[in-house]
Amino acid sequence: MVTARLILDPHFAVGAINRRIFGSFVEHLGRCVYDGIYEPGHSTADAEGFRGDVIDLVKELGTTTIRYPGGNFVSGFKWEDSVGPREDRPRRLDLAWHSTETNEIGLHEFSSWLAKVDSELMLAINLGTRGVEEALDLVEYTNIRSGSTLSDQRIANGQVEPFGVTMWCLGNEMDGPWQLGHRSAEDYGKIASQTAKALRQLDERLELVVCGSSSAQMPTFGSWERTVLQHTYDDVDYISCHAYYEERGGDLTSFLASGVNMDHFIESVVATADSVKAELRSSKQINISFDEWNVWYIDRYQQVDRITDIEEWPVAPRLLEDVYSVADAVVFGSLLISLLKHADRVQSASLAQLVNVIAPIMTEPGGDSWRQTTFFPFAVTSRLARGTVLEVRLESDTHETKEYGTVATVDAVATVDAEAGTAAVFLVNRSETEEATVTIDVAALGDLGLLEASTLADDDVYAANTLADQNRVGLSPNTSAVIVDGVVTITLPAVSWSAVSLG
């Protein structure tokens, strides 16, 4: 039996939770947009062609911000293609995913959809094949009230009020040789700085995200961040992090400990940013936008899904439609724990992606929509994690992993909402074989009672929800959870994610 003990104290706070940490990501990739959020012929479609069943699921998921329209897609994207009368919009070849983009859904339509799901728009700018002038044009079209050619064009296209987009990404994964317009850190840093300075002349209120490394495994990781920030430190507000995890070679033990890697990734980027801050003698703090994260079986994509026929340019092909297991959801939940543990610096995050493409929500054309296993940790954490993240005092049994050495078998994070008088604890048991008994000392938080406790687990850690069996896996009440004299005791099954709510 694994044992762990947590002590919660409101005096030891990490930082306030920025609700943007529960953001997601919609890219014009595969069936994320077409057949995903948009399917005019579907029985639940509204007057604009958006699937009502998907809208309901996105609202249940609790997303706050959506990064759009890419991703790799944005590095070849001409934003002008996506506005104006639909019948006049061009069909373009998307080199990133070897597909055809119809531009049927663009800035206006997507903004309308965002209003239906109560999420904020976060726009990515093409700094791959385009530059400063096109970025300025997009911000003018999007944010300037009226009186210029582009703002008046927006009004003529049906949007009288500005879209009022606050967060902007200065390109996407520009360190990656797969990216259109790939540049060195030196060259990217220069154009990102030029673009940021120009955008601030147009609207000084913008919050700007500069590209960090596309993963911690890139050979330039660390040096890329340093060089880019040396050019842009005074011009931007955030540096991006991207990370995807998958089980490789049957090494479930290491996979379950993926959060250890995310912790190290975040702390390394923070250390680099703070080093540049000291070097520049700046009083400003650069925070992190972790604007791509998930479990993604990228090896499977490379071997099976990738379109290789040079003559084939399909519209909305089935790409990256990973089916997620219980083990995947437990890792997913542990990544959310890592993001929250660094709430003082992670001020925005985007689950990649939202529908069909490595997504918590799946749809069938003309048919059903359903929740993947990863849906549940996100929805519950978004609902319960409010107020401030606490620095949990955690003592746990440990075990060995091939990739990460000795790791804590139980990981956890806690949040407290002083105004509402509530608290929440999120936990994972990384053991493949043993239950974990966890005691949580919450006496310092006052007189709290147990509101709810739920767990995601299954005897088959590879069980999943599919079109044929949409409700195979879900949350179950954790009836073992009790609170006595300010101490919560809960039993966690092997390979499980759990949430406890107190109030």
Catalytic residues: 173, 292
Strand pairing class (2-7; 393-396):
antiparallel
Instruction: Please provide the DSSP assignment of 210-225 as one string.
Output: E---S-TTSTTTTHHH
Q: Tokens 């660094």 belong to which residue?
A: 342
CA distance 171 to 173: 7
Which run of H or E residues covers position 350? strand 346-352
Tokens 């317009």 belong to 181
Contact 17, 389 (CB under 8 A): yes
Q: Report the relative pairing of strands 2-7 and 487-492 from DSSP bridges.
A: unpaired
Report which secondary-structure segment, H or E, holds 381. Answer: helix 375-384
Q: Taking Cα atoms as reference points, which of 252, 414, 242, 260 lies closest to residue 334?
A: 260
Residue type, 170: L
410-417/405-408 β-pairing:
unpaired
Cα distance between the two ends of the chain? 29
